Amino acid sequence: MSNPKVCLVIGAGDATGGAVAKRFAREGYTVCATRRSLDKLAPLLTEIRAAGGVAHGFGSDARKEDEVIALVEEIESSIGPIEVMVFNIGANSPNSILTETARRYTKMWEMACLAGFLTGREVAKRMVARPESATQGRSHKGTIIFTGATASLRGSANFAGFSGGKMALRALAQSMARELGPMGVHVAHTIIDGAIDTEFIRTQFPQRYALKDEGGILNPDHIADAYWMLHLQPRDAWTHELDLRPYMENF
């Protein structure tokens, strides 16, 4: 029996990450989902399995090199080759530059960028070493998608730490795409520009959430559809950067 196709979602939260995990599971991928707290993955894993999918959960801190190395090794050795990796850690914690601390700033950079480097590096090592036949006959060796934000492009007031980390992640994605593309690995960066349909937006920004029925906030399932599209692209027409926003969002 051949190894299953694996989609690894780093930061499989209740919105985008979870939606991506469910989307790939519906397409027959074995999903490996991570959060720092394994317990928080229970509802997502239950939902995927109830729908007939296959999912494994891992409690892992993507900022710690030894944990990332061990995670990728365990998946590759005991589950299957990682064909898709989606990095979806947020790190959004606004604060005035006048009161920001070095500890908070460093932590946001670690979550938004260092973790992306560590997971991207370890997965890329595995992908480039495989023959194309190892990815179930696809025309390339794998897909790596980094989730960005409005802060990937511009730094707003009170978002120095978040924008610094997200801009660094965008630079990482560009560098990886230029190096790994010729080796058969599709590296993409998405800019999610707008509020997402989450409990946080519903409770903290009710006026914005009220626009949901008008298509004014992003539906996580529709973001996941775009990620699936990115993975299906032929290598003669790869998208590197894709921005998604509600039609009423200014840009």
Instruction: Output the domain CATH number for residue 239.
Output: 3.40.50.720
Provide the β-strand partners of residue 85.
Answer: 8, 144
pLDDT computed for residue 147 by the predictor: 97
Report the pLDDT value the prediction gives residue 201, as an integer from 0 to 100.
Answer: 86
Strand partners, 189: 146, 241
| Tokens representing residue 4 in the block | 């299953």
Q: What percent of the chain shows pLDDT beyond 90?
A: 83
* Distance, CA of 146 to chain centre: 5
Q: Is residue 202 part of a domain?
A: no
Distance between CA atoms of 156 and 176, rounded to whole angstroms?
26
Structure tokens at 113: 């960028």
Q: What is the model's pLDDT at position 250?
A: 87
Tell me what pLDDT residue 135 has.
47
Q: How far apart are CA 233 and CA 160, in angstroms?
A: 34
Inside any domain, residue 207:
no
CA distance 225 to 229: 6
pLDDT at 1: 45
Share of the chain above pLDDT 70, in %: 96
CA distance 81 to 58: 16
Residue 1 lies in a domain: no
pLDDT of residue 132: 67
Name residue 78's amino acid. Answer: S
Which residues are within 8 A (CB) of 101 and not within 5 positions of it... i.e. 6 or more apart? none
Band of the pLDDT at 134, cuts 50, 70, 90?
very low
Kindly report which listed range (62-76, 85-99, 121-135) carries the lowest average pLDDT score: 121-135
For residues 123-131, average pLDDT:
94
E-assigned strands of 117-237? 142-149, 185-192
Identify the residue whose tokens are 């980390």.
Answer: 165
pTM: 0.94
Which tokens go with 191? 């800019």
Total domains present in the chain:
1
- Measure the CA–CA gap between 61 and 89, rounded to whole angstroms: 11
Does 213 fall in a domain?
no
Q: What integer pLDDT is reported at residue 204 of this predicted model?
A: 82
Mean pLDDT within 19-46 = 97
CB-based contact 85:33 (threshold 8 Å) = no
Question: Is residue 208 situated within a structural domain?
Answer: no
Is 34 inside any structural domain? Answer: yes
Question: What value does the mean pLDDT take over residues 215-223?
Answer: 95
Please indicate, yes or no, if residue 203 is contained in any of the structural domains: no
- The reply to whether 137 falls in a domain is yes
Q: What mean pLDDT comes out for the span 44-70?
A: 98
Residue in the block written with tokens 């939260």? 13
- pLDDT for the residue 251: 85
Domain of 22 in residue numbering reads as 6-191+221-244
Using the CB atoms, write b or e for 137-166: b if 16+ within 10 Å.
Answer: ebebbbbbbbbbbbbbbebeebbbbbbbbb
* Mean of pLDDT over the chain: 93
State the virtual CA torsion across 111, 112, 116, 119 in degrees, nearest 10: 20
pLDDT of residue 81: 96
